[in-house]
Structure 1
Amino acid sequence: MKKKILFLFFVIFFMHIHSQTFDFENKYKYARSLSNKNPDSSEIVLDQIIEFAKKENQPNYLAKAYYLKSFNSYLKSDAKTTLDFTEKALHISEKNNYPVGKALAYRMQGTQYAKLGLLKESSESLNNAISEVKNDNTDEGHELKGMIYNSFLILLNQKEYAKKEYYSKNAIQEFKKIKNSARRSELLVSAYTNMGYTFSEIKRFEEAKACFKNALALVGIDNNYLRCNILHDLGFSFSEQKKIDSAVFYYQRALQIANIYGFNEKKIEITENLEKAYGKLNDPANAKKYKIEHLELKDSIAYNQKMAVNKTLSAKEKKFDEKLSESHSISKGLIAVCIILILILGIVIFKAIRIRKKHMEIISQVYQNGITPISYEEDIQESSEDHETNKSITQDIKISPELEENILIGLENFEKSLHFNSKNISRYNLANELNVNTKYLSLVIKKHKNFNFNQYINHLRINFIVDKLKNELQYRKYKINHLAEITGYSSHSAFSLEFKKIVGIHPSAFIKALDKV
């Protein structure tokens, strides 16, 4: 009994464990918050997200995880790794048509390019980023647009104050539209800090002070990266106000945070400003100290940056070569297609000329000699009466000259009256009209017209309509089905088939050729 209870317990426990799905959204948010506090801690969570995203086929979270990894590498001034992860995020997002992932990757790519001095490439990437989410009015869309506007600031030089103010204000406006208050406050910190820096550059210190105050009020106590940024920019503001002691104080506090959490990208900027500040304080020892530290930092990442630049330029060159090769292949293909089309066109033109020539020969012959009677092959499905008539002919059925003459006169009147165009005409009807039996009628038609009855009627009808088409222009304006109706055919297809058999071309082609004569 105890074993059964234990077994049941383990089954329930096992099912409970497997029923719990991996919470991608909350894990991603947690990793993102850790990126600003301690990038190394964030990496542990991101590796977990990547592992589960691959297992559970979650490409969107896989792309976002690689984007965050690129951001963490950027904070450490590892340009090559930053671009490697952005490429992964971009590839996954493009493959799965995920605009948010593409925007994130393009934004990080553009930011890193700007740091490497690849300003043209940076501008292209940032514009690609904004185009991916320009119509996205969700919280995530507003967040991304604000972040991209912030990234545009890196492209601008010190004198482009109007543009800096424009992008900073746009970033603030986008962040203010976010409904999630915690995320809105977190993002507004960087926007207010950037705005304060811009105001400090143009000596609008009261406005700068208000911006820094807003940023400090919103930043979380453990948001180390943003706090480091605010302290540095406060130092810059005091430096612009010639309050160098205050500037050094804030620079040192910012440097302390950057040292603890490995924000190498920010350390380069802070040590450079500390060197300048101590120089203004006539403190050559500290000025030299931070100059050396600044140069050592730059040297430590110079090789990495050089590799990243070379890789980027090589990738662009490779893409250019691929496009050029593709262009050459397409050109060769187009040339081959053009040659084939020219050959086909030549064949079509040649055949068209031959057909036209043949049609004109037929028209010329019709004008000169009329319709030439055609010789029919024996019809396997010929009617039983036609078989009887053929037997009679072979057996030399005797018919008096007077009766034969009367039938011929009757046929002449029949032809003059155009009664052959009647839909109801048949061998029996015509025999009754001429007061003879059908065998004698068929015998005379075969002997003097060289046709069986149906062939005789068809020739009369087609000859009639050809004469009308030749001599009366209004007939050429009629549709084929109307011409068929005039000549007693039940359908335009039957008329067209018989016309082509007797004349040699389709009635529409015959009419077209007549118009050219």
Structure 2
Amino acid sequence: MEKKITFFLFLLFSNFIFSQQFDFEGRYKYARLLSSKNPDSSEIVLNTIIDSAQRKNQPDYLAKAYYLKSFNSYLKSDAKGALDFAEKALKISTENNYAPGKALAYRMQGTQYAKLGLLKEASQSLNKGLSEIKNENTDEGHELKGMIYNSFLILLNQDEYQKKASYSKNAVREFQQIKNTPRRNELLVSAYTNLGYNLSEVKKFDEAQSFFVKALALVGNDNHYLKASILHDIGYSFSQQNKQDSAVSYYQKALKIVSQYGFTEKKIEITKNLETAYKQIGDLPNAQKYKLENLELKDSVVYNQKMAVNKTLSQKEENFDKQLIKSHSLSKGLIAACIILLVVLGAAIFNMLNLRKKHKKAVAQIYQEGITPVAYEDDPQEAEDQSGNSIPADIKISPETEELILTGLKAFEENFDFNKKNISRYNLSNALNVNTKYLSAVIKKHKNFNFNQYINYLRINYIVDKLKNESQYRKYKINHLAEITGYSSHSAFSLEFKKITGMHPSAFIKALEGIA
């Protein structure tokens, strides 16, 4: 609390001092420094820069401030914010012909596009950024070129080591030409840890270790983001060496830092690797813990990422439309193709609307009445016992045994044990201490299902109920819904969901949004 008060008083004092003569360069460097410590603190300083830059007509610093806002958003996994602020920086820089600002904006665009899986768009933006400052041999030019080379690494997979090594070495070369020693060392940290990570991917652990040592020697105690990145990459290196205990130790150190300072993007990566490392150790409770944490983190940012992707693609469509408007002539063949396309599109829209109407009606019925159980089907596997002998059609079961099985099935349903993975007639019958033929006979008599139908009906009914009554479930990916209900894959889940409800899960969720 005392630190927060001190920091607040410091900001007030700073605003008073700089109200007469605002030190844009000093404020920008300070905001950049805070980004690696705590992005939220950096935002406070950036807002003062933006306010003063607008009043004093300083477009260069206005563009740089929006770039840094974009970077802060990226660190917090706010994809939409990152692209929105990068777009503002690019617009201001373009209007004022400020090449470094355009390079910064393109670099941030490319980095965020890569994280969203838009690799073509990412490569285009990064190459545009390089072209803006290719002949800029100042400290700022070398810094920007090195940063963009580092960003290219996100586009490459593990098999493209030669390309990765080339970009990493180019980044080091550019950073080493920066005359400002503190800034040069700060940037070399990221380049060295990237080299260490890349070398670990190809099992060159001794070389990797030498670059990690260099990175640790240069990183300051206050540069929390870079320190977390180094610790994570060292953990990854140990993981590649099958030294999972050491990997976990470094991952946990990195996780502590990113959790404290809100670096969500890095936290997603660390929790995923912790899950993998704990699995390798055989610590399944911790593996499950970090798997769930990773899923929750991804779910918390997935809507934002979807909006960012949609906006990017919409902008591309708008640009395409503008190019069409500027065109002076169209061939007859193109016009005919457009008419045909419109007819096909109209038919597709008509069919889609009809399908949506049917879906909406079906979902409304399910919402009011619940899902309709499927008719009983004979299961060939249930027609034989474990020895391969056929089971008589009429099995005589004592009332006590029948009651015991029904009581067990009631507990099985109430505890949602049907959502466990790999549930089978054999392990359920063992749990109820009865044989499989008795279990199948009771399920057939009282539930009117074979065993597989019974499990699938309980699972789909469970998830339908969750989708109806708990809106957050509608935001989950299909593979996450499949995992919740114990299916081995999203395709198996989708197949059973459609078989029971008559539609794909995504269509059901979409129709449900219009009802509840």
User: Where does residue 223 of structure 2 map in the other structure?
Assistant: 223
CA distance in structure 1 between the aligned counterparts of 2:54 and 2:17, rounded to whole angstroms: 20
User: Where does residue 504 of structure 1 map in the other structure?
Assistant: none
Q: How many residues align?
A: 316
| 1:137-148 matched pairs, under 5 angstroms | 137-148=137-148
Shift of 1:19: 9.2
- Cα deviation digits, residues 90-122 of structure 1 (max 9, x gap): 000000000000000000000000000000000
Alpha carbons of 1:93 and 1:281: their partners in 2 closer, same or farther (altered >3 Å)?
Answer: same
Shift of 1:330: 11
CA distance in structure 2 between the aligned counterparts of 1:27 and 1:319, rounded to whole angstroms: 36
Alpha carbons of 1:327 and 1:239: their partners in 2 closer, same or farther (altered >3 Å)?
Answer: same
User: Where does residue 275 of structure 2 map in the other structure?
Assistant: 275
Letter in 1 for 2:193: T
User: Where does residue 127 of structure 1 map in the other structure?
Assistant: 127
User: Where does residue 294 of structure 1 map in the other structure?
Assistant: 294
User: Where does residue 52 of structure 2 map in the other structure?
Assistant: 52
User: Where does residue 422 of structure 2 map in the other structure?
Assistant: none
- Cα deviation digits, residues 77-100 of structure 1 (max 9, x gap): 000010000000000000000000
| 1:498-509 matched pairs, under 5 angstroms | none
User: Where does residue 213 of structure 1 map in the other structure?
Assistant: 213
CA distance in structure 2 between the aligned counterparts of 1:212 and 1:326, rounded to whole angstroms: 53
Secondary structure at the aligned position of 1:37 is classed as: coil
Shift of 1:48: 0.1
CA distance in structure 2 between the aligned counterparts of 1:253 and 1:70, rounded to whole angstroms: 27
Shift of 1:327: 1.5
| 1:39-78 matched pairs, under 5 angstroms | 39-78=39-78
| 1:462-481 matched pairs, under 5 angstroms | none
Letter in 2 for 1:157: N
Secondary structure at the aligned position of 1:210 is classed as: helix
User: Where does residue 306 of structure 1 map in the other structure?
Assistant: 306
Alpha carbons of 1:284 and 1:182: their partners in 2 closer, same or farther (altered >3 Å)?
Answer: same
Secondary structure at the aligned position of 2:317 is classed as: helix
User: Where does residue 386 of structure 1 map in the other structure?
Assistant: none
Is the aligned partner of 1:97 residue 2:97? Answer: yes
- Cα deviation digits, residues 179-208 of structure 1 (max 9, x gap): 000000000000000000000001111110
CA distance in structure 2 between the aligned counterparts of 1:295 and 1:18, rounded to whole angstroms: 45
CA distance in structure 2 between the aligned counterparts of 1:194 and 1:249, rounded to whole angstroms: 20
User: Where does residue 343 of structure 2 map in the other structure?
Assistant: none
Alpha carbons of 1:207 and 1:78: their partners in 2 closer, same or farther (altered >3 Å)?
Answer: same
User: Where does residue 187 of structure 2 map in the other structure?
Assistant: 187
CA distance in structure 2 between the aligned counterparts of 1:253 and 1:265, rounded to whole angstroms: 16
Secondary structure at the aligned position of 2:327 is classed as: helix
Shift of 1:263: 0.5
Shift of 1:328: 3.8
Shift of 1:18: 9.3
User: Where does residue 160 of structure 2 map in the other structure?
Assistant: 160
- Cα deviation digits, residues 236-290 of structure 1 (max 9, x gap): 0000011110000000000011101111100110000000000000011000000
User: Where does residue 257 of structure 1 map in the other structure?
Assistant: 257
* Runs of 5+ unmatched residues, structure 2: 1-15, 332-516
CA distance in structure 1 between the aligned counterparts of 2:278 and 2:20, rounded to whole angstroms: 57
User: Where does residue 86 of structure 1 map in the other structure?
Assistant: 86
CA distance in structure 1 between the aligned counterparts of 2:219 and 2:294, rounded to whole angstroms: 28
Alpha carbons of 1:17 and 1:169: their partners in 2 closer, same or farther (altered >3 Å)?
Answer: closer
**Structure with max Cα Rg:** 1
Give the alignment's TM-score, normalised by structure 2.
0.60
* Runs of 5+ unmatched residues, structure 1: 1-15, 332-517
CA distance in structure 2 between the aligned counterparts of 1:289 and 1:239, rounded to whole angstroms: 19
CA distance in structure 2 between the aligned counterparts of 1:19 and 1:177, rounded to whole angstroms: 35
- Cα deviation digits, residues 127-162 of structure 1 (max 9, x gap): 000000110000000000000000000000111000
Shift of 1:326: 1.4
Secondary structure at the aligned position of 2:36 is classed as: helix
